């Protein structure tokens, strides 16, 4: 198992891609510029949150397609795409297309469940089938099968003079199935992801199980271990990957004004981390703020971090572009090396 003495192997970051509704193009361009900067700084991956009917990225696949043509090395992922909003067959086509355009750099992160605020949107999203839609694990299983190239019909071959048809989703991108991730926050989902051949995305949210001590780090550790045990037992994957996505805010090169702003942000969010939230006992991880040395020390003591050798640190919401430049630069040049990470040559 990875532990605090094992160097960090992969360094990534996650952005929500906020935009001003009065000028959405500028916000999307800023996101692309952040990804380009991430590649220049040596990051291994850039991940996009998926937001519907909000002022964040609603089409990360389109953003990844654009980013793939402005970068050459950095991997591009979603964390996560809620598959309840998607038609799995159409999503499989789009993901495979962008994966081919990127040279095999796409890492789709997925989740299941009823779309958020479903009652307010189901009449437009699924006007004829709203009550029949299946939002269970089977929806993402179907997506994985389609990406893997399993036949969807018997009909194929040449028909007529020029039309030729396939019995599987086209284009097919070999290797994409192995880069599917599942965003799990419960023991059940972590176990399911491991048993069904997905990589595991963990973040700053977990759900406590009955009888578990309400300690975020130890609950996350238990989920990661359950995932690995399920993956090993299934035999489906020889090397199931796990990535952790906490919010970290290094202040090494921050100005006094930035440090004050960052601390206010953390202080406003800290109360929700002090006790389980809601009927399911949702636990939020505290944001980590301070010098890279201080953050590295906290991470090495974090039971969840001790289980991983890949991270996708989440950028704080609603900061300015210059703040993201400072934070990403400090992560790549100071925090990453403090965790044993070195960029690929």
Residue 145, judged by CB atoms within 10 A of its CB (0-12, 13-18, 19+), counts as middle
Of the two residues 3 and 322, the one the predictor is more confident about is 322
Cis peptide preceding 80, ω within 30 of 0 = yes
Per the prediction, the chain carries an average pLDDT of: 95
Among 61-70, 207-216, 242-251, the least confident range: 207-216
Q: Is residue 1 part of a domain?
A: no
Q: Is residue 344 part of a domain?
A: no
Q: Where are the alpha helices (DSSP H) in 71-153?
A: 88-102, 122-125, 137-148
Instruction: Please state, in angstroms and rounded to a whole number, the distance separating the CA atoms of residues 80 and 205.
Output: 13
36-50 pLDDT, tens per residue? 999 999 999 999 999
Q: Which two tokens stand for residue 259?
A: 């440090």
Q: Which two tokens stand for residue 151?
A: 């036949």
Q: Is residue 5 part of a domain?
A: no
Instruction: Please state, in angstroms and rounded to a whole number, the distance separating the CA atoms of residues 219 and 284.
Output: 11
Domain of residue 77: give its range: 10-338
- H or E element, residue 264: helix 256-269
Query: Any idea what the CATH number is for the domain that residue 188 is in?
Result: 3.20.20.30
239-293 pLDDT, tens per residue? 799 999 999 999 999 999 999 999 999 999 999 999 988 888 899 999 999 999 9
DSSP category for residue 211: T
Number of domains in the chain: 1
Q: Judge contact between 223 and 194, C-beta under 8 A.
A: no
Q: Is residue 222 part of a domain?
A: yes
Q: Is residue 81 part of a domain?
A: yes
Q: Is residue 14 part of a domain?
A: yes
The whole-number pLDDT of residue 296 equals 98
Instruction: Please state, in angstroms and rounded to a whole number, the distance separating the CA atoms of residues 287 and 295.
Output: 10
Q: Is residue 91 part of a domain?
A: yes
**pLDDT at residue 237 greater than cutoff 60:** no
Q: Is residue 4 part of a domain?
A: no
Residue of 85, 146, 73 lying closest to 110 (CA atoms): 85
The beta strands (E) that lie in the chain are given as: 10-15, 45-48, 75-78, 81-82, 106-107, 109-111, 157-158, 164-165, 181-183, 199-202, 205-207, 242-244, 248-250, 282-284, 288-290, 310-314
Residue 344, judged by CB atoms within 10 A of its CB (0-12, 13-18, 19+), counts as exposed
**pLDDT at residue 107 greater than cutoff 80:** yes
């Amino acid at each position: 198992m990875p532990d605090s003495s094992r160097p960090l192997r992969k360094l990534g970051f996650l952005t929500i891609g906020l935009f001003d509704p009065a000028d959405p193009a500028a916000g999307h361009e800023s996101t692309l510029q952040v990804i380009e900067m991430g590649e220049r700084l040596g990051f291994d991956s850039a991940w996009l949150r998926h937001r519907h009917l909000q002022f964040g990225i609603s089409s990360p696949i389109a953003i990844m397609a654009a980013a793939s043509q402005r970068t050459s090395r950095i991997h591009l992922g979603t964390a996560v795409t809620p598959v309840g909003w998607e038609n799995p067959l159409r999503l499989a086509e789009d993901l495979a297309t962008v994966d081919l355009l990127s040279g095999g750099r796409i890492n789709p992160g997925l989740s299941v469940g009823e779309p958020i605020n479903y009652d307010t949107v189901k009449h437009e999203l699924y006007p004829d089938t709203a009550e029949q839609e299946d939002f269970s694990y089977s929806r993402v299983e179907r997506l994985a099968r389609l990406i893997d190239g399993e036949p969807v019909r018997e009909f194929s071959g040449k028909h007529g003079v020029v039309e030729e048809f396939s019995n599987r989703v086209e284009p097919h991108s070999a290797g994409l199935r192995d880069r599917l991730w599942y965003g799990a926050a419960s023991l059940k989902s972590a176990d399911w992801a491991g048993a069904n051949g997905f990589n595991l995305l963990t973040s700053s949210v977990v759900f406590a199980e009955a009888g578990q001590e309400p300690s975020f780090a130890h609950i996350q550790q238990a989920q990661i271990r359950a995932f690995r045990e399920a993956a090993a037992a299934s035999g489906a994957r020889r090397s199931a990957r796990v990535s952790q996505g906490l919010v970290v805010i290094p202040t090494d090169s921050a100005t006094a004004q930035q440090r004050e702003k960052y601390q206010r942000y953390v202080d406003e969010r800290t109360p929700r981390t002090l006790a389980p939230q809601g009927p399911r006992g949702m636990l939020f991880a505290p944001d980590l703020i301070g010098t890279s040395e201080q953050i590295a020390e906290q991470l090495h003591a974090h039971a969840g971090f001790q289980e991983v050798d890949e991270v996708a640190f989440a950028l704080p919401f609603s900061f300015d572009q210059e703040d993201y430049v400072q934070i990403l630069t400090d992560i790549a040049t100071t925090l990453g090396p403090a965790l044993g990470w070195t960029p690929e040559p």
